[in-house]
Every structure is written in structure tokens, then in C-alpha cells.
């Protein structure tokens, strides 16, 4: 006769899997324990008793840190215009949350202009409004009238990327 499945072990296995998954997704040990529905002290005790679990949790943490450092999929490099559409001062590139670039007027906060997308070199042929690259950099969209133009390619950068406009 087969012995009844040890419930405690099953629960523990489930908790360990949940904790490892959370850790892989960048959770701290405390958050991982919460995701696994156990106290962080319990998780610490388990990993003290179990070298394999200790290694797995450490490895999951390393993977998460690595994923955080991984650059976002690279977008085609495009030429962008450096004058602010509102006041014509020089535009600067900043990074939000350490990784998302955005463009903003160099006179900020005196001038409030900011954008998640860089300004295209030429203004709109229809309304002469400032135009901005799409998120994928495959087209240019006019802020004024909404006219969207496919990206005119003009060459290849020294990094082998296609250049627009």
C-alpha cells in the first residue's frame, strides 16, 4: 500500500515554487515569502536547512538582477530635433526610473515641454506643427493634425542601424 501523500511536504513544495517564481520576477526575499503565503522567517529557515533551496533562491535573485540590467529591445536610431517646440531652447534627454528615456526642454521647469518620443527633424508638411517619432520609430506623427508618415530612410549608422529622416 502506498503511503498517503505527505500534505505538509506538498504545501511546502508549492510555497517553495511560488517563492522561487516571485524571486525570479525581482521580488525581495520578504516579498517572495509573502507571495508564497509563508512568513519570511519560515523561508529563511527552509533555506538554512536546504542548501539546494538556498542556491535556487540565490540564482533566481541573480537572474532577476540580470534581467533588470538587460537593455530594452533596441529601437532604430533616428535623428531628432533639439529645439523645444514651445520655446526653442535646447531639448535634453533624461531617463525615467533608470531606464525609460524621455525628452524635455532644457529650461524645465520654466518651460513645461516634455515628451516620451523624440521630435522629428522636419515639421508637418500639412500644418507645420512639430512632429514626433512613433514609439517603434517606424513613422512620424504630427502633434497638430495627427498626420502620420512612414519613416523615410536615409542611411545606415556606424552601428549598422537604419537611420530615419
Our CB check for Zn ion shows the closer of 40 and 147 to be 147
Check residue 145 for interaction with Zn ion (CB under 5 A). yes
In order, the DSSP letters of 22-91 are HHHTT--HHHHHHHTTS-HHHHHHHHHH-HHHHHHHHHHHHHHHHHHHSPPPPPPPB----B-TTT-PBE
Our CB check for Zn ion shows the closer of 38 and 142 to be 142
Q: What is the Cα Rg of the chain in Å?
A: 25
Residue 13 host element (H or E): helix 7-24
Rounded distance between C-alpha atoms, residue 5 and residue 56, angstroms: 24
From residue 71, give the alpha-carbon distance in Å to each of 59, 93, 153: 20, 17, 25
Check residue 15 for interaction with Zn ion (CB under 5 A). no
- The span of 1-9, 40-48, 142-150, 155-163 binding Zn ion (CB under 5 A) equals 142-150
3-state secondary structure of 17: helix
Which of 32, 57, 60, 142: binder of Zn ion (CB under 5 A)?
142
Rounded distance between C-alpha atoms, residue 139 and residue 26, angstroms: 34
Question: Residues binding Zn ion: what is the number (CB under 5 A)?
Answer: 15
Q: How far apart are CB 136 and Zn ion at their closest, in Å?
A: 20
Which of 80, 113, 132, 133: binder of Zn ion (CB under 5 A)?
113
Rounded distance between C-alpha atoms, residue 44 and residue 38, angstroms: 10
Check residue 124 for interaction with Zn ion (CB under 5 A). yes
- The span of 48-56, 75-83, 93-101, 135-143 binding Zn ion (CB under 5 A) equals 135-143
Which of 29, 40, 114, 147: binder of Zn ion (CB under 5 A)?
147
Considering only residues 52 to 111 of the shown chain, the ones binding Zn ion according to CB under 5 A are: 84, 86-87, 89, 105, 111
Instruction: Tell me which residues touch Zn ion (CB under 5 A).
Output: 84, 86-87, 89, 105, 111, 113, 124, 126-127, 129, 142, 144-145, 147
Amino acid at each position: 500500500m502506498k503511503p498517503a501523500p505527505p500534505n505538509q511536504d506538498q504545501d511546502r513544495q508549492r510555497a517553495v515554487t511560488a517563492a522561487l517564481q516571485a524571486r525570479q520576477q525581482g521580488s525581495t526575499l520578504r516579498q517572495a515569502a509573502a507571495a508564497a503565503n509563508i512568513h519570511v522567517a519560515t523561508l529563511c529557515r527552509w533555506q538554512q536547512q536546504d542548501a539546494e533551496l538556498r542556491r535556487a533562491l540565490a540564482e533566481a535573485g541573480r537572474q532577476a538582477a540580470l534581467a533588470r540590467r538587460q537593455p530594452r529591445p533596441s529601437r532604430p536610431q533616428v535623428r531628432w530635433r533639439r529645439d523645444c517646440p514651445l520655446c526653442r531652447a535646447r531639448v535634453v534627454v533624461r531617463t525615467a526610473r533608470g531606464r525609460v528615456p524621455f525628452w524635455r526642454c532644457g529650461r524645465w521647469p520654466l518651460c513645461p515641454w516634455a515628451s516620451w518620443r523624440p521630435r522629428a527633424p522636419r515639421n508637418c508638411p500639412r500644418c507645420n506643427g512639430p512632429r514626433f517619432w512613433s514609439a517603434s520609430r517606424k513613422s512620424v506623427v504630427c502633434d497638430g493634425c495627427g498626420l502620420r508618415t512612414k519613416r523615410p530612410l536615409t542611411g545606415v549608422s556606424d552601428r549598422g542601424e537604419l537611420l530615419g529622416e
